[in-house]
Amino acid sequence: MSQLILKAAAYAAHQHRDQRRKDAEASPYINHPLTVTNILSEAGVDDPVVLAAAILHDTIEDTTTTADDLRRLFGEEVTRIVLEVTDDKSLPKARRKELQVEHAPHLSEGVALVKFADKIANLTDILEAPPAWPAERKAEYFAWAASVVDALPVHHVALRARFDALVARAPVPTAA
């Protein structure tokens, strides 16, 4: 395993150490970036820069990490990928989601791969370790994730098959 990937895992674990996921068990947040990275690895992605960026993909968005921190520790390529997948938290949530769909077709390959794996990880969590969301919100997330993935400029057979299998299991909103 690349030293870069191990360094990224150690850094992300430290930065996310006090964060928890929204599932019933409040699992450690670090499980998410590690899962995203594992999804890419299982799909045959072996570029250490992309894998390191996958591990670090939420550090700027969700921790005190800055772009300068990442640049100094991991270099320009990793930082560029992380910055491209980072939402601007100063914007309303609805606008951030719109921007993900709008920007998806213009992402570079490495960024698109991380985005793809992130959506797969999130859909898997909604199905297997769900947050306390109503079925309607879960179904809306699935539909939105599909709009992001459908706009990505990469055509990765293994990731697409895994994503489509999850979408086929999408929660159905209950009738009111």
- Look at residues 53, 50, 73, 60 and name the one whose alpha carbon lies nearest to residue 15: 60
Query: In whole angstroms, how far apart are CA 20 and each of 6, 105, 118, 139?
Result: 21, 31, 17, 23
Encoded tokens for 146: 């599909």
Residue 45 exposed, middle or buried by CB count within 10 Å (0-12, 13-18, 19+)? buried
Q: Is 102 a catalytic residue?
A: no
Catalytic residue at 62?
A: yes
Q: Which residue in the list 47, 61, 87, 109 is annotated as catalytic?
A: 61
Catalytic residue (choose from 23, 47, 62, 98): 62
Which positions are catalytic? Answer: 61-62
